[in-house]
Amino acid sequence: MMIKILGLLLLVITQTASAKVSIDHWQTSQGSPVYFIQTTGLPMVDVQVVFDAGSARDAEQYGIASFTTTLLDTGAGAWNADTIAQRLESVGAQLSAGVSTDMATVSLRSLTEPKLLNSALETLQTVLSKPRFAEADVKRDLSRTLAGLKQREESPAAQADIAFNKALYGNHPYAHDSDGDLKTVSGFTAAKVRAFYQQHYVAANAMVVMVGNLEKPQATQIAEQLLAGLPVGQKPAPLEDVVLPKKTPLQHIEFPSSQTHVLVGLPVSFRNDPDYFTLYVGNHILGGSGLVSKLFNEIREKRGLAYSASSHFAAYLKPGPFEIGLQTRNEKTNEALQVLNQTLVDFINNGPTEAELKASKQNITGGFAMRFDTNKELAGYAAMMGFYHLPLDYLDTFTQKIEQVSVANIKETFKRRLPIDLLQTVTVGQTVTQATAVKTGAK
Amino acid sequence: MKFKSLLILPFCLPFLAHSADVKVQEQVLTNGLKVLVKEDHRSPVVVSQVWYKVGSSYEPGGITGSSHMLEHMMFKGTDKHPAGEFSRIIAENGGDENAFTGRDYTAYFQTMEKSRLPVSFELEADRMRGLHLLPEELVKELEVVHEERRMRTDDKPRAKTEEHFMAMAFSNSPYKHPVIGWPADIENYKVADLQAWYQRWYAPNNATLVVIGDVQAAEVFTLAQQYFGELKASELTPLKPQTEIVQLGERRMTIKLPAQLPYLMMGYKVPTLKNAVNPDEAYALEVLAGVLDGGNSARLSSKLVRGKQLAVTASAAYDLTARLPELFMLEATPAKGKKLPELERALKNEVVLLQNTLISTAELERVKAQVLAQSVFEQDSMFYQGMKIGMFETIGLGWKKADEYVDKINHVTAEQVQAVANKYLLDDQLSIAYMEPQGMANKTTGQ
């Protein structure tokens, strides 16, 4: 058991506004890690139970991790979906469950008034440890999920995302969309969902995050009780490494939309990446700082080519995608793509100026307190730090690590980590010939 | 950025007294600028929002979307600061910023570390009266807004369906126009149009400054006086009412689009808090929306999605804080093998049930419990607290009405819910759209 900051100090800190975060950390008797941040301003608590059961654990059954989370509250213990919903909603509690690439997260937001909180926690515990996965519920939700997948085909943005991840990750578990596809999802059965659940929803694979107005003993008891019904089980095998894609020509998907969605990128950075902060600051300048980034300036401010143009490094357990994205009217696709590539290549070759770096650092460090000024954001940070085994002083040292980044670091790191010739490019939209461009009055 | 309808759920609970005693403090400068401050000392952060009483529902035909266009141009330079400098200065001070336009408001915001509030005030005061509209900047920004429209509406079958639906449901109310404007209007904005719009609406006596965060109200009032105090008030020409004519029977349309799933939209003409003869009716409609769609245990999910399995999604929505009479919306996607007429009948049956039978005590209590809890949860976000105050003030209800919300909902009875169902959810006041998907062929090629 490890306790980072003493409770007494914590109390003082949270009552006066401060950009310091104190995270309490221990393990349940079954060995599941717990992360607790006490905030005393409001009579509410956010509880998250996180499993290493994101879409990366789907194996061949693309979408099974996500589908499992949607079924948790459709029947558990003695209760059907109506009863579960009534139990939660009659005490004003909010339950949600879903997956990201790496994680499955079941979240509860509740008032801390004991009668209300206890009822909500009992529901959460039952949903986590005794889901029914009844045939009728599985069948109904399967048909809803398939409808959702069908509707996804209406969206050029969704089609671009799917093709982009496939281009970056090939056969790696990060390659498919977390919702799965029509073919794999059609094959889901109650037995398959139960098997996925039994393997992954175990104490050895679980973590509890709590942020809110609780005392430590209460938090200890809640974490213990929430996971008590789960077998200890074991962690899933480590994920395979990501192999960089081969040099590939631009991939275009013809789609009946007025805009073409453009995505350019490569798998690059992961959570424990020693280059993480250098890449983060560099990207902030390139395309991560909203209305003032280089990409935004070149694409939108100077040329009016798109409403949004941005880039980011998604950091997962294994290298997540570096992604630059924009949407432009079909007839401007080539021009927009050219500007995008030129901006990126210039940045990789030349790095930022000292002035750009300074402005970017001022933005990141000056706005540091705003990263976690809500319980919800604090819970997100705690879950991230816990899941990826980041040091508990991650936020305390964040500003310092930003300050240490130099122009030379950025230049060297971008060159080394972003081999230009391997960048993957996906476009989704309508091909416009010169004749039709004139006919539709394109400028 | 556009917000069209947001759930507004304020605070003040008996058993949560310690969280409810933070009050909004108000001061009006001599030039008419109303300053509202709510202290929240949980983090060393401040949210500053400037709300203008103008939005798409203020716009006459021909220049629809000009409030939104002007919102974009507000970042394009003043007499003092050239284009782009506003955003650059905010960014260098660690700030987050943006703006949004709705039917009844245009608002600008910055979130910053608390000591930087003067930076935000200096820049917002400057662009309240000193905007410098340049033709060359407008040319570029017009393209950006066209792209925004394509992204938000033209390439989204349901957004496009909604746009056509609203244009049918309203005859002469400005709510028939999309916030972003019709394409032909966007195409033809001139600097003079936007200049006139700016002159008419951007003035301290047509604005509200909302500040939430780790600040002292007295200090904020002093700062506001220092930066905004010298701005000249305008003589405001009253807005023409554009009151919607009475609908004389059901309206129905079919929308054909490249899409994959059919979709149903139904809307009944209803009053809102601002214009209801009896404001209790607005709160009763709010509860009614909660009975149908206040979560997974509500009737639409429980009966149509799970029970009869007619729909894969079904929702109800009511915007209590719309300035003008609104639509009470029902929307649904049919389950595989189910048809739109069948779904329409099922939704109408739910309406009939509300008209004929009192809702249960459990349902009423559930909605009230959710409203109470939500009033605490929303205080987790300073931005949301500011939204609520700014919106109530800007549509003309006054921020105090926001504080009454939980109490008013608590007093709604099952009889009142039945009464509004009988008074307003009438076939002759209904508009219906069927979105019928047309084929769409996608194919992949290397290039």
Q: What is the CATH number of the domain that holds B346?
A: 3.30.830.10
Q: Which of B44, B306, B309 sits opposite A19 (nearest CB)?
A: B44
Average pLDDT over every residue of B221-247: 97
Q: What is the pLDDT of residue B443?
A: 57
Q: How far apart are the first and last CA of chain B?
A: 34
Report the share of chain A in percent with pLDDT over 70: 93
Residues B203 and B305 in one domain: no
Which chain B residue lies closest to A294 (C-alpha atoms)? B88
Distance, CA of B248 to CA of A375 (rounded, Å): 50
Does residue B387 lie within any of the structural domains?
Answer: yes
Of the three residues B193, B228, B263, the one that is the final residue of a domain is: B228
Q: Which of B40, B306, B382 sits opposite A81 (nearest CB)?
A: B306
Across the A/B interface, how many CB contacts are shorter than 8 Å?
A: 253
Residue A372 pLDDT > 90, yes or no? yes
Q: What is the pLDDT of residue A8?
A: 29
Q: Which of B362, B440, B446 sits opposite A249 (nearest CB)?
A: B446
For residue range B139-166, what is the model confidence (pLDDT) as tens digits?
999 999 999 999 999 999 999 999 999 9
- Our CA-based measurement puts residue B406 at a distance from the nearest CA of chain A, in whole angstroms, of 13
Residue B111 pLDDT > 50, yes or no? yes
Q: Which residues in chain A are closer than 8 Å to B373, comparing Cβ atoms?
A: 91-94, 110-111, 116
For residue range A170-189, what is the model confidence (pLDDT) as tens digits?
999 999 999 999 999 999 99
Are A253 and B443 an interchain contact pair (Cβ–Cβ within 8 Å)?
yes
- Our CA-based measurement puts residue A253 at a distance from the nearest CA of chain B, in whole angstroms, of 4
CA distances to B162, B169, B171, B324, B354 from B176, rounded to whole Å, are 10, 7, 7, 11, 28
> Domain spanning A251-439: which CATH class is it, in words?
alpha beta
Q: What is the pLDDT of residue B21?
A: 53
CA distances to A193, A374, B25, B35, B388 from B51, rounded to whole Å, are 50, 23, 17, 10, 11
Number of domains, chain B: 2
Residues B43 and B110 in one domain: yes
Q: What angle do CA B310, B313, B318 make, to 5 degrees?
A: 115
Q: What is the pLDDT of residue A3?
A: 31
For residue range A21-67, what is the model confidence (pLDDT) as tens digits?
899 999 999 999 999 999 999 999 999 999 999 999 999 999 999 99
Residue B17 pLDDT > 50, yes or no? no
Residue B106's H or E segment, with its range, is: strand B106-113
Residues B262 and B297 in one domain: yes
Q: Which residues in chain A are closer than 8 Å to B379, comparing Cβ atoms?
A: 42
User: Strand pairing partners for A283?
Assistant: none
Q: Which of A43, A163, A304 sits opposite B143 (nearest CB)?
A: A304
For residue range A239-290, what is the model confidence (pLDDT) as tens digits?
999 999 999 999 999 999 999 999 999 999 999 999 999 999 999 999 999 9
Selected for mutation to probe chain A from B16, B47, B152, B155 (highest A CB count within 10 Å) is: B155
Q: Where are the domains of chain A?
A: 7-227, 251-439
Q: Let me know: does B257 contact B156? Beta carbons within 8 Å.
A: no
Residue B67's H or E segment, with its range, is: helix B66-73
Q: What angle do CA A187, A188, A194 make, to 5 degrees?
A: 150
Residues B100 and B52 in one domain: yes
For residue range B373-382, what is the model confidence (pLDDT) as tens digits?
999 999 999 9
Helices A216-227 and A114-129: angle between axes, nearest 10 degrees: 30
Residues B127 and B258 in one domain: no
Q: Let me know: does A167 contact A323? Beta carbons within 8 Å.
A: no
- Our CA-based measurement puts residue B20 at a distance from the nearest CA of chain A, in whole angstroms, of 10
Q: What is the pLDDT of residue A21?
A: 86
Q: Which residues in chain A are closer than 8 Å to B157, comparing Cβ atoms?
A: 154
b/e sequence A406-423, b meaning 16+ C-beta within 10 Å: ebebbbebbeebbeeeeb
Does residue B56 lie within any of the structural domains?
Answer: yes
Average pLDDT over every residue of B212-231: 98
- Our CA-based measurement puts residue B118 at a distance from the nearest CA of chain A, in whole angstroms, of 15
Which chain A residue lies closest to B377 (C-alpha atoms)? A44
Residues B297 and B353 in one domain: yes
Quick check: is B71 catalytic?
A: yes
Distance, CA of B145 to CA of A340 (rounded, Å): 20
Per-residue DSSP letter, B179: T
Are B151 and A82 an interchain contact pair (Cβ–Cβ within 8 Å)?
no
Residue A15 pLDDT > 70, yes or no? no
Of the three residues B213, B228, B243, the one that is the final residue of a domain is: B228
Radius of gyration of chain B (CA): 23
Which chain B residue lies closest to A357 (C-alpha atoms)? B92
Average pLDDT over every residue of A80-88: 98
Confidence of residue A374 (pLDDT cuts 50, 70, 90): very high
- AA letter at A131: P
**Which residue of the set B26, B39, B59, B71 is catalytic?**
B71
Q: Which of B87, B112, B261 sits opposite A151 (nearest CB)?
A: B261
Residue A117: phi and psi, rounded to 5, are -65, -45
For residue range A382-407, what is the model confidence (pLDDT) as tens digits?
999 999 999 999 999 999 999 999 99
Fold: same for A7-227 and A251-439: yes
Q: What is the pLDDT of residue B7?
A: 31
Q: What is the pLDDT of residue A20?
A: 74
Residue A106 pLDDT > 50, yes or no? yes
Residue A10 pLDDT > 80, yes or no? no
Residues B217 and B257 in one domain: no
Q: Is B162 left (phi over 0), alpha (psi -120 to 50) or beta?
A: alpha
Distance, CA of B205 to CA of B202 (rounded, Å): 8
Selected for mutation to probe chain B from A292, A298, A377, A424 (highest B CB count within 10 Å) is: A292
For residue range B83-110, what is the model confidence (pLDDT) as tens digits?
999 999 999 999 999 999 999 999 999 9
Residues B325 and B200 in one domain: no
Confidence of residue A433 (pLDDT cuts 50, 70, 90): confident
Question: What does pLDDT average to over chain A?
Answer: 93
Q: What is the pLDDT of residue A242?
A: 98
**DSSP-assigned letters across all residues of B369-411:** HHHHHHHHHGGG-HHHHHHHHHHHHHTTS-THHHHHHHHHHHT
Does residue B100 lie within any of the structural domains?
Answer: yes
Confidence of residue B22 (pLDDT cuts 50, 70, 90): confident
For residue range A193-230, what is the model confidence (pLDDT) as tens digits?
999 999 999 999 999 999 999 999 999 999 999 999 99
What share of residues in chain B are helix, strand, coil (percent, to 5)? 45, 20, 35
User: Strand pairing partners for B45?
Assistant: B113
Residues B259 and B117 in one domain: no
Are B373 and A17 an interchain contact pair (Cβ–Cβ within 8 Å)?
no
Selected for mutation to probe chain B from A144, A253, A334 (highest B CB count within 10 Å) is: A144
**Structural domain boundaries enclosing B158:** 31-228
Residue B328 pLDDT > 70, yes or no? yes
Residues B159 and B270 in one domain: no
**DSSP-assigned letters across all residues of A156-217:** HHHHHHHHHHHHHHTTSTTSS-TT--HHHHHT--HHHHHHHHHHHSSGGGEEEEEEES--HH
Q: What is the CATH number that goes with domain A7-227? A: 3.30.830.10
Which chain B residue lies closest to A150 (C-alpha atoms)? B260
Q: What is the pLDDT of residue A18?
A: 55
Confidence of residue B440 (pLDDT cuts 50, 70, 90): confident
Q: Which of A44, A154, A373 sits opposite B377 (nearest CB)?
A: A44
For residue range B238-267, what is the model confidence (pLDDT) as tens digits?
999 999 999 999 999 999 999 999 999 999
Residues B153 and B285 in one domain: no
Are A359 and B92 an interchain contact pair (Cβ–Cβ within 8 Å)?
yes
3-state per-residue secondary structure call for B268-328? EEECCCCCCCCHHHHHHHHHHHHHHHCCCCCHHHHHHHHHCCCEEEEEEECCCCCCCCEEE
Helices (H), A236-331: 276-283, 294-296
Are A155 and B156 an interchain contact pair (Cβ–Cβ within 8 Å)?
yes
Per-residue DSSP letter, A402: H
Are B140 and A303 an interchain contact pair (Cβ–Cβ within 8 Å)?
yes
- Our CA-based measurement puts residue A104 at a distance from the nearest CA of chain B, in whole angstroms, of 21
Residue B2 pLDDT > 90, yes or no? no
Beta-carbon count within 10 A of A431 CB? 15
Residues B214 and B356 in one domain: no
**Structural tokens at position A130:** 């005794």
For residue range A146-177, what is the model confidence (pLDDT) as tens digits?
999 999 999 999 999 999 999 999 999 999 99
Confidence of residue B11 (pLDDT cuts 50, 70, 90): very low
Residue A388: phi and psi, rounded to 5, are -95, 10
Distance, CA of B384 to CA of B404 (rounded, Å): 17
Least confident of B179-193, B341-355, B387-401, B430-444: B430-444
Average pLDDT over every residue of B46-55: 98
